[in-house]
Structure 1
Amino acid sequence: MKVLIELPTWLGDCVMATPAIENIVNFDNDVQITFISSFVAIEAMKNHPKVVKTVVLDKKYRVLYKTARNLGEFDYFFSFRSSLRSKFLKFLISAKNKYQFDKNKYQNRHQVEKYNDFINDSLKSSFSADKLVLHVDNLKLNTNSSSLPILGINPGASYGSAKRWYPEEFAKVASELSDRYDIVIFGGPGEVDIALDIEKSLLEKGVKNYKNLAGKTTIPELMSRISNLDLFITGDSGPMHVAAAFQVPTVAIFGPTKDGETSQWMNEKSLIVKKNLDCQPCMKRTCPLQHHNCMKLIKAEDVLKAVKGIN
């Protein structure tokens, strides 16, 4: 069975689609998968054992048209995206069966279940959504001479500033735990500044056993490093879902987003810190009330309490 899958664009959504993708494999174990998506999604998923080809999607319609026409014939096409561009791609693809995720149809459940229900409806199957699955070349990246366990902190969130907790609070938590953990600061290219703020604050507190990797890792390196962590403190983000895939003990800080839909999936050691305000969840990229209390009211003590609860 030849299958073309358009993955979700973002890292977190991509990871949350993995149980559904595994169920496509469960439907036909001889499946040959071609992935098409953003660079980030392809980097995250390219090591899947059933993948025969990957294509990074160009957003220009002209290039998209040419790419689609050159992909060949498929038995199935699944798009995990609801966009107009994906509708256009679906129209162009040559496949006997074509299905596109509809975000309006699948609501009020975890994103993993939404994606899994989409695949079950498409294949007329009844697979349950199992654990998240990521295939990484587990690089031996822990070159620490220290024998301390490793704490990862991830201050960023691609969705927007409303999801971000404050660098000074992250630094307080990291400083408090620095005698028990070596610290690794994560972040994408857009989070270099916030990571530098944390680094500066740690140095002011006399903490030296840290590495700042913000903007310095590829997606496979990021996944591999997260898989080696002993504890992860993060906002609602792509790396949070990567940690869930590797069952890393995690404290996740939630503000404007729906933790019922995007919390860690099936991670036994996962705790959420949030304030349950009347204005939550607003699902906005910036605080519409301009006070940002859903994040501002969360303090380092709240997160440290959760860390105690998880260990």
Structure 2
Amino acid sequence: MKVLLFKIGAIGDTLMTTPLIRQLRKNFKNATIDYLIGKHSYRVLEGNKHLDNIIKFDEKIFFEKDFKEWIKLIFKIRKRDYDVIFVLDKHWIFNLTAFLFGIEKRIGFDRCGEGKFLTYKVPYFGRKHEIFYYLDLLRGLGIEPNYEDWEMEIFLNEKDLEFAERFWNENNLNDKVVVGICPGGARNIGVGDDDLRRWDIEKYKELIKKLKERGFEVLLIGGKTDKEIEDEILKEVKCVSAIGKTSLKESAALLKKCDVVVCNDSGPMHLAAAVNKKVVSIFGPTHPSEKAPLHKKSKYIWKQVGCNPCYDLWGRCPNPCPYKKKCTDKIEVEELLNIIINTVSQ
């Protein structure tokens, strides 16, 4: 049997599909299992021992409605002659694309009637963790999901782990309690959400100062797009920073070594949760029941203020926020600090 998983990307969303990949492999040890994914996010799957092939495509085909490249992709996949496809995005265009791939069995989500090109549909209403929604798709092949086997996976190699060890040595972190902070992220390609899921930078500064006063070391982690945030923080607070200096998997290796990680509701949050059981996440417009890390030692903070959650089933929310992000603004430094301290001590 030849199986294809199909997702446009987003690092966090892709990581949440890894329990599905693992359970597919457990049930179909001799199947060919390939993953078709946007080139922005494919690295999170590199080295995944449960996959046979990773096939990359340009997400702009869909975001910019490039009909010519879309047709090329369709004919490319048709030639590979798959038996089953798991459509992991919810928009009807991906279901139609799967139909045009010529794959007989098409398993995916029916979000308010958008599943008409599928042969097996899982109704999608939100308010359940995305990992469990992905696992529900297994029933399309007659498999009962194991909801206790939910941990996300990213496969780090020796080079990634050696990088983290070297970084710890070079920055004298070995004898310190290290709080990893990911102050950025929360921006998906093709989605302009105007930083709605980010906690205020001034509060991050205050948090870092209070952590340093209590003897913690702080390590900033993030990508090149977070450099402006790094500059703002380092103007006022001295701490170690790896922002913009690491690959995706090097960042994961650093997150793995932290005693606790603090994140916005973002891709880095899921990356941290894939390698670290102590993640403190900050939620605002999204309901935490849908995406918060599932480890018992992980915690989240969320203030229900009347207008949130405002992300709808289509991932849309008011932009700009008419209430000036009061859901995240209500989260105070002291209460987050207490959660961090309690999480470290567990």
Q: TM-score, normalised by structure 2?
A: 0.81
Mapped partners of 2:84, 2:292: distance in 1: 30
- SS of the aligned residue for 1:201 comes to coil
Residue 271 of structure 1 aligns with an amino acid whose one-letter code is K
26-35 or 58-67, which deviates more: 58-67
1:204-243 equivalent positions in 2, closer than 5 A:
207=238, 209-213=239-243, 215-243=244-272
Aligned to 2:342: 309
Aligned to 1:66: 72
Going from structure 1 to structure 2, the CA distance change for 1:285 and 1:262 (only over 3 Å counts) comes to farther
Q: Does 1:117 align with 2:136?
A: yes
CA contact (8 A) 1:230 1:248 kept: no
Unaligned runs of 5+ in 2: 113-122, 312-316
Q: Does 1:193 align with 2:193?
A: no
Aligned to 1:106: 124
CA contact (8 A) 1:155 1:164 kept: yes
Superposed displacement of residue 186, structure 1? 2.2
Mapped partners of 2:9, 2:70: distance in 1: 15
Mapped partners of 1:286, 1:226: distance in 2: 31
- SS of the aligned residue for 2:218 comes to strand
Aligned to 1:128: 146
CA contact (8 A) 1:5 1:34 kept: yes
Aligned to 1:277: 305
Going from structure 1 to structure 2, the CA distance change for 1:248 and 1:171 (only over 3 Å counts) comes to farther
- SS of the aligned residue for 1:86 comes to helix
- CA deviation string 1:94-123 (max 9, x = no partner): 434222333442223111111111232x11
Superposed displacement of residue 256, structure 1? 1.1
Aligned to 1:47: 47
Aligned to 2:90: 82
Residue 168 of structure 1 aligns with an amino acid whose one-letter code is E
* Identical residues among aligned pairs (%): 23
- SS of the aligned residue for 2:33 comes to strand
- SS of the aligned residue for 2:233 comes to helix
- SS of the aligned residue for 1:162 comes to coil
Mapped partners of 1:240, 1:93: distance in 2: 33
- CA deviation string 1:170-200 (max 9, x = no partner): 1222222236443221223432212221222
Q: Does 1:294 align with 2:327?
A: yes
38-47 or 231-240, which deviates more: 38-47
- C-alpha RMSD of the superposition: 2.1
- CA deviation string 1:39-88 (max 9, x = no partner): 23311012111322222222133223223323311121111012344234
Mapped partners of 1:287, 1:172: distance in 2: 25
Task: Give the structure, 1 or 2, with the largest relative contact order (CA under 8 Å, sep 6 or more).
Answer: 1
Q: TM-score, normalised by structure 1?
A: 0.89
Aligned to 1:168: 202
- CA deviation string 1:255-299 (max 9, x = no partner): 11111111112x121111122211221222645323321111212
Unaligned runs of 5+ in 1: none
CA contact (8 A) 2:205 2:236 kept: yes
Mapped partners of 2:8, 2:254: distance in 1: 22
Pairs aligned (count): 303
Going from structure 1 to structure 2, the CA distance change for 1:198 and 1:103 (only over 3 Å counts) comes to farther
- CA deviation string 1:157-178 (max 9, x = no partner): 1153111101121122222223
Superposed displacement of residue 20, structure 1? 1.7
- SS of the aligned residue for 2:48 comes to coil
- SS of the aligned residue for 2:55 comes to strand
CA contact (8 A) 2:33 2:53 kept: yes
Mapped partners of 2:73, 2:29: distance in 1: 27
Going from structure 1 to structure 2, the CA distance change for 1:4 and 1:61 (only over 3 Å counts) comes to farther
Mapped partners of 1:53, 1:3: distance in 2: 11
